[in-house]
Structure 1
């Protein structure tokens, strides 16, 4: 294992260990119930948890919850669960997420816990102030993605071991969108207001809403995906392009992240729809078919194109 150059606050570590040893079953039960519907603990619910369990503040609460967030992890290949907790700047709510792997595809479709949170925040039109992990040690792939889509280089990375780092400590000189002449992602910005999709296509409204929010400045292909569930719900996701190209996220990956956050699984999906532009240098269709076959093989897959 690599050497850790960052000192941890042992006082914080001792306090987290003490709280978890005494209160973790009750804390996880209460917090898990609050996050059950959508993987979100509201700002008001955070206040209730802080008061009920005698915690110092929301940051201390976050340090205690990565273990709970592992419920959103789906590491079907490695078995290595990563739970992550993100604090939204705009709402004060906590987002819970985890890593995902897809058997039958390839490792490049793996979704890391940290990128899961950043993609969820992007889908919600928000940014992140802090992320709590079991250990504040994201891989280089995640550091690049967080530098573009978490909201700011001042993003805090914390853990129950007592680390409190800024993303800039871990990635002090990032390759940023300015290198390719782009200003970067802006939370909630409608980038493609003129997208049009033919009438009569299933999930048309959801595909249009997601596609218009897609961050696709490099391929000019604002792709979107929508999952229709057996209960009638429709969950969507938009393409998120990194200035480094890899790590970028396909729209179906983002839609799956949003589905898992709502407690859904592949077996719930009856239809998968993808919309993108024709004749772009990059197409999402092949990877989407591969991922769809692995995640929801029973679902009908349909590919559509935005109208010129």
Structure 2
């Protein structure tokens, strides 16, 4: 993506409101309201101005194509996302910015998503993933100064309703999550019932976590490894900060992400621990 001049008024407002030099990966309702007042802009205009900041979280060593995405919920909270590629292996091992932003929102227990703002048109893969959202029919998508109702971008779609799923992807069940298996059980997997969660630790300190998100078309299902790496980046944490990775999975899962994590652990020279737990 071509370089642009820094939006200094925006950066100043963020620094004042967030009280940090670091770019925030999410903003609360109070923060977006105050920044919009300072900049005299709407929430959508704010998200559009923040897209270059979202794209700055991108890790794209293979494609060198840096994409940012921002999800907004009905409480006017803002959640950033960016694409992430593995340095080894094929490009199929990659996370798209839209997926990153959606998981960032869900991991923060975001309310119903209302808008998705992107700095490039969403690819078909992402459109299929977005279609898993419970409110996909009412979601608005913004890119290149154009606005679309999401169904316009995916006509004659194949979605959860086609397989009789009555509770598509919405807020993750994290309200009482305390132990690692609780986060694995929060996985959204109505098609295979798979429960998987990954964690990155420095000593006993949890740096980031992720869980599996499934899609009716299967291929856009969200690997917990790629989401975990994206969450580390969004939290301004490098792999140098990680001492070990942990994978927690239900003992009767129909498949495992163990090999995927082992491959990454070998590449990154980080230890990994695999745990299996019974259904309780």
CA distance in 1, matches of 2:123, 2:271: 35
Aligned match of 1:85:
70
Residue ranges of structure 1 left out of the alignment (5+ in a row):
1-19, 194-203
From 134, 144, 167, give the equivalent of 2:150.
Answer: 167
Whether contact under 8 Å (1:32, 1:68) holds in the other structure is no
From 118, 121, 128, give the equivalent of 1:144.
Answer: 128
Whether contact under 8 Å (1:66, 1:85) holds in the other structure is yes
For the pair 1:122 / 2:106, whether they are aligned, the reply is yes
Aligned match of 1:49:
35
Whether contact under 8 Å (2:55, 2:82) holds in the other structure is yes
Deviation per residue, 1:188-243 (Å, 9 max, x gap): 336xx9xxxxxxxxxx9542231121112222221111110258234211111111
**Which structure: greater helix fraction?**
1
Aligned residues: CA RMSD: 2.6
Aligned match of 2:272:
301
Whether contact under 8 Å (2:68, 2:81) holds in the other structure is yes
Q: Give the TM-score of the pair, scaled to structure 1.
A: 0.79
Q: In structure 2, the residue corresponding to 1:304 is in which secondary structure?
A: strand
Q: How far off its partner does 1:85 sit?
A: 1.4
Q: In structure 1, the residue corresponding to 2:205 is in which secondary structure?
A: coil
For the pair 1:59 / 2:69, whether they are aligned, the reply is no
Aligned residues: 271
CA spacing shift, 1:82–1:37, aligned 2, 3 Å: closer
Aligned match of 2:170:
186
Residue ranges of structure 2 left out of the alignment (5+ in a row):
none
Aligned match of 1:111:
95
Q: Give the TM-score of the pair, scaled to structure 2.
A: 0.87
Whether contact under 8 Å (2:134, 2:169) holds in the other structure is no
Structure with bigger gyration radius: 1
